[in-house]
Amino acid sequence: MITPYRRLAALALLAALPAAAQTYNGPESVEAHPRLKRLLVSNTGGGNVLARAEDGTLSVFTSDPSSPYGIELLAGTLFVLDSGRVKGYDIDSAAPVMNLPLTGAAFLNGITSNGLDTLYVSDFNGRRIYQVGVADLGAPTQVELTSTGTATPNGVVYDRDGNRLLIATWGSNAKVLSLDLGTPGATPQTLIQTTLGNIDGIVLDCRGTLFVAAWSGCGTAGGCLRRFDPPFAIDSPAVVVANGLANPADIDYDMRTAEITVPESGGARVSLHPSSCGRSLFIDDFER
């Protein structure tokens, strides 16, 4: 005879199995969600977005995207770049709330926001930056903001203090570009000339310190995480944060833990590294 207690225990075990069985498969982009003390990770090879709990266990946030790349959390919505579209999912229920095909897009890769009502998206193959208005999720808007010329854009981050975008570029001797958002028709300018190769992720921490994730040119085998301290100059030195990373992709700064979170797309893992900040005593609830 199966007692009610044993039946409940068996059901609890079965319910836990799917979450425990989740694994990384080409983790591409990570976004901190301080309120629930978790990280959201676009699992490109798995065709889903995973949620990583504080203890490292994984569960599925949504399996709706077919090939998710950059992700960005803004005002209660997780925005996901998926095969030429910008999709939005409610941060609590994961219900789809937006699905915008970007006209003319080739390969959407990096995404950031102004923290209010606007997304900025990089088109890797098209060498363009798009601006997407999301004040009304039912009627989002699209503008081709600028071309990056001969530079191939990857990760992007919004610099609030400078009202500008900082853009990571692909290729050898990769650059960090700066795009002035306060000047209509502005074109990206070189902010930092590096000796790194294939910069994928880029983020600012609470002090305005810049971190980049590069696949090569690190002076050692594998990829790396490097830091640039403000004020920035064309020849700002790169400070070593971590080496031996496996294809580090689209990184994020977790204000709660003061860590730089790095999805290693070639290593099927997410690694955590110190920033220049301290842990936050108060969790910003901006996303809801």
Q: How many CA atoms lie within 13 A of 231 on its CB side?
A: 2
Q: What is the pLDDT of residue 279?
A: 82
Q: What is the CATH number of the domain that holds 141?
A: 2.120.10.30
Indicate the pTM of the whole model: 0.90
Residue 5: other Cβ atoms inside 10 A: 8
Q: What is the pLDDT of residue 201?
A: 97
Distance CA 221, CA 244 (A): 6
Single out the residue of 196, 96, 85 nearest to residue 138, CA to CA.
96
What mean pLDDT is predicted for residues 239-261? 96
Residue 19 has pLDDT above 50, yes or no: no
Distance CA 211, CA 222 (A): 17
Number of domains comprising the chain: 1
Domain contains 12: no
pLDDT digits (tens, 9 = 90+) for 216-231: 999 999 999 999 999 9
266 Cβ contact partners less than 8 Å away, ≥ 6 residues apart: 223, 246, 247
pLDDT digits (tens, 9 = 90+) for 75-98: 999 999 999 999 999 999 999 999
pLDDT digits (tens, 9 = 90+) for 96-131: 999 999 999 999 999 999 999 999 999 999 999 999
Domain contains 80: yes
Domain contains 281: no
Q: What is the pLDDT of residue 91?
A: 96
The pLDDT-based confidence of 288 (bands split at 50, 70, 90) is low
The pLDDT-based confidence of 2 (bands split at 50, 70, 90) is very low
Q: What is the pLDDT of residue 280?
A: 74
Domain contains 3: no
Q: What is the pLDDT of residue 278?
A: 84
Q: Is the dihedral of CA 168, 169, 173, 178 positive or negative?
A: negative
Domain contains 285: no
Domain contains 4: no
Domain contains 58: yes
Residue with token string 């994961």: 94
Domain contains 16: no
| Parallel, antiparallel or unpaired: strands 85-90 and 118-123 | unpaired
pLDDT digits (tens, 9 = 90+) for 159-203: 999 999 999 999 999 999 999 999 989 999 999 999 999 999 999
- Domain extent for 184: 24-274
To the nearest whole number, what is the mean pLDDT of the chain?
A: 91
| 8 A C-beta contact, residue 117 and residue 135 | yes
The pLDDT-based confidence of 1 (bands split at 50, 70, 90) is very low
